[in-house]
Structure 1
Amino acid sequence: MSEPSADVSATVEYTMDKWRMDRLPWAMWACVAGLAIALHAESRAQSGAVLAAVYLALLGLAFAAYALTTLIGRSGLPLLLELLIGVLVLIVVSGLIGFISVLVGGPNGRSSYVGVMRGLYWSHLVNPSLNVFGWMLLYLGFGWILFSAYRHLYADRAVVSMSAAGIRFHRPWLKGLFIPWQEVRGVGHLVVPGISGVPFVSPYAAAVTVGRDFHERHIAPKRSFFAPPGAEAMFQPKGEMMQVVLNSADMTVKPEDFLGPAEARWKAFRDQPGSPSQHCGTIVYGRWSIDGSRWQAVRFLAPLVGMVVVLVYR
């Protein structure tokens, strides 16, 4: 997508849509593999669909506990308080896992439910049949397909947007961050210290430079406790300044597609007080579309063919 360089009043948005849609074929292959396993693997009279849902719930609970303990470890709390909170999290998670296990298997090894739950036993949670993992792949793959398709049709807010007023960030852990062009001191590739002490210019990251005082007053307070691991790499010092990285791995957008619009707007509006009122449309980067290439067609048609083969030779 080419941006008209003269139209700097247009808003430029950067989304995760292409990143999500590029992973949709892998989700389709997960559905193909899951369906093949669910249809052909031994079931041992187990309700694979129900057990798969239970396993995914337990895995989600375990991951949530891991994420919470990781955040606590990065919070800077005293070691004793951090240890007590970690033990409390372990007790709560263990209790929930035990409750779910007993709810499914029953305290005496038998299910307390009827219908689909009647065939479940405590031992099934410990030694499930292979078709359970097929159902898990189906759930995960189909869930990603639905989520990606929904977000493609009903787009969420752009991760980064640039207007005549400045740059806005819309990340869950960095809400409400706005950098006016008047506070930007430079636009270019990220500069990091090299091994030999000589600064290294990274060709893979686009960044804007702001004053250290602006960073301390307007950026640092907005950095949430729930920032994911590696989020600190978005902010890199550069002498007395601070660099804010614009692109990230979850946006399939080249650094040059950030630098061009950013530099054009910075030069046009850095000396203008306040935000200009005119607005001339929106330009979107990172939006997935059908490009008509053979590779794109193969990526999406191949798993559909695989699904038909699995259904025909079940």
Structure 2
Amino acid sequence: MDRQATVGRVGAGSIRNPEGLSMSEPSADVSATVEYTMDKWRMDRLPWAMWACVAGLAIALHAESRGQNGAVLATVYLALLGLAFAGYALTTLIGRSGLPLLVELLVGVLVLIIVSGVIGVISVLVGGPSGRSSYVGTMPSLYWSHLVNPSLNVFGWMLLYLGCGWIAFSAYRHFYSDRAVVSMSAAGIHFHRPWLKGLFIPWQEVRGVGHLVVPGISGVPYVSPYAAAVTVDQDFYEQHIAPKRSFLSPPGAEAMFQPKGESMQVVLSSADMAVKPEDFLGPAEARWKAFRDQPASPSHRGGTVFYGRWSIDGSRWQAVQFLAPLVGLALVMLYR
């Protein structure tokens, strides 16, 4: 289905025909709640995870091990990489905290020392000696641990772990869906991001629905065709949105809020949802026009329409995407 919409128990309600929505669109029923999920974005990357498993299995089976336990060392490597990433993320968040420069520097150095110390202790406890080399006497310290000089099959196990982990996570979230990232009801727009909890914009506070408008290089405003946004008053933004913005937000999250004259634009679409901007604008405009002058009531409750849900579309390309890695996996197992 082109719009990636799935209807779940859409209740009866008045069918309107707002601009951009046909009468046959499930989301044209303004009594229905529209939810936008990351499911398709995750599932579209599942074939790449399957290829990672194929490559990892091939390397783990055919590469030399030099007597090392590749499965165990791969686990340690991933743990160390996760620890290093956590240290980087923590120092980035400290930089956003608004602390004085000296305090920020001291805390950053402390985090670096702690992370480096933990990595060193784990390396000493788990690494073990890896044997002598032709460089003994000149640079012997580079060969004190398996973690410094791993065999190739360790990286094969790492690919296996990462690929299987993504497959398990994506499949679980597909069958047991998490909360929608954005949802639109008769009452307004709800945002459910971990770093932006509890954000709700009633339709009465929305001043416009359309594509994102940003300043152009020549000074002429540029209308982005890749982002859908709603416009709210600056006062509403300062009182109800700005306090909910957390320094825990990921890099680039500030692009969700863009000024437009005396107003503020709140972007609905994002790269982590495989949904076209038009699929945000149509339902948003329909509900804004229907409820901007009147509060929602219990009688406006309908069913649920989903966008961004992955489904089997029966296309040859989708079949090739999922069957080709399985064929590769069978060949690796056959010629091991």
Report deviation, 1:259: 0.1
Partner of 1:86: 108
Which residue number in structure 2 is paired with residue 279 of structure 1? 301
AA aligned opposite 1:133: F
Name the structure 1 match of 2:266. Answer: 244
Partners of 2:32 and 2:303 within 8 A in 1:
yes
Q: Which amino acid aligns with 1:46?
A: Q
- 1:164-183 equivalence runs, <5 A: 164-183=186-205
Partner of 1:147: 169
Deviation string for 1:4-57 (max 9, x for gaps)? 364101000000000000000000000000000000000001000000000000
Quick check: 1:123 aligned with 2:145? yes
Q: How far did residue 122 of structure 1 move?
A: 4.6
> How far apart in 1 are the matches of 2:295 and 2:280?
23
SS, match of residue 126 in structure 1: coil
**TM-score after normalising by structure 1:** 0.94
The C-alpha deviation readout for 1:266-296, integer Å capped at 9, x for no partner, is 0000001355543110000000000000000
Post-superposition CA distance 1:138-168 (Å, at most 9, x none)? 0000000000000000000000000000000
Counterpart residue identity of residue 57, structure 1: A
Q: Render the CA deviation track for 1:114-159: whole Å, top value 9, x for unaligned.
A: xxxxxxx952111000000000000000000000000000000000
Secondary structure of the 1:125 match is: coil
User: Contact (CA 8 Å) 2:199, 2:244: kept in 1 or not?
Assistant: yes
Question: C-alpha separation between the residues in 1 aligned to 2:216 and 2:323?
Answer: 45
> More deviation in 274-283 or 179-188?
274-283
Q: Distance in 1 between matches of 2:196 and 2:225?
A: 25
**Residue aligning to 1:135:** 157
Identity of aligned residues (%): 87
Q: Secondary structure at the match of 2:300?
A: coil
Q: TM-score, normalised by structure 2?
A: 0.88
Partner of 2:315: 293
* CA distance, structure 2, for counterparts of residue 277 and residue 217 of structure 1: 30
1:157 counterpart residue number? 179
2:318 aligned with 1:309: no
Aligned partner of 2:206 in structure 1 is 184
Letter paired with 2:233: G
Give per-residue Cα distances to partners, 1:183-228, cap 9 Å, x unaligned: 0000000000000100000000000000000000100011112100
1:199 corresponds in structure 2 to 221
Structure 1 letter corresponding to 2:260: K
CA drift at 1:76: 2.1
Which residues of 2 match residues 250-265 of structure 1 at below 5 A? 250-265=272-287
Counterpart residue identity of residue 215, structure 1: Y
Q: Residue 198 of structure 1 aligns to a residue in which SS?
A: coil
- Tell me, in whole angstroms, the C-alpha distance in 1 between the residues paired with 2:145 and 2:83: 20
Shift of 1:74: 2.1
Equivalent residue letter for 2:68: Q
> Could you tell me how far apart the structure 2 residues matched to 1:14 and 1:5 are?
12
Tell me the secondary structure at the aligned position of residue 26 of structure 2.
coil
Deviates more, 1:88-97 or 1:157-166: 88-97
Q: Give the Cα separation in 1 of the matches to 2:25 and 2:37.
A: 16
What is aligned with 1:95?
A: 117
The match for 1:118 is none
Equivalent position of 2:20 in the other structure: none
Where does residue 77 of structure 2 map in the other structure? 55
Structure 1: distance between partners of 2:27 and 2:158 = 48
Helix, strand or coil for the counterpart of 2:163? helix
Distance 2:82 2:98 in 1: 26
User: Is the Cα contact below 8 Å between 1:165 and 1:276 reproduced in 2?
Assistant: no
CA distance in 2, matches of 1:294, 1:306: 18
Runs of 4+ in 1 over 2 A off after TM superposition: 1-6, 273-278
Which piece of structure 1 moves more, 7-16 or 92-101?
A: 92-101
* Backbone CA RMSD of aligned residues: 1.3
Q: 1:237 to 1:103 in 2, by over 3 A?
A: same
For residues 166 and 245 of structure 1, what CA distance do their matches in structure 2 show?
A: 15
Which residue number corresponds to residue 220 of structure 1? 242
Q: What secondary structure sits across from 1:158 in the alignment?
A: coil
> Aligned partners of 1:13, 1:136: CA distance in 2, in Å?
35
- Residue number in structure 1 paired with 2:58: 36
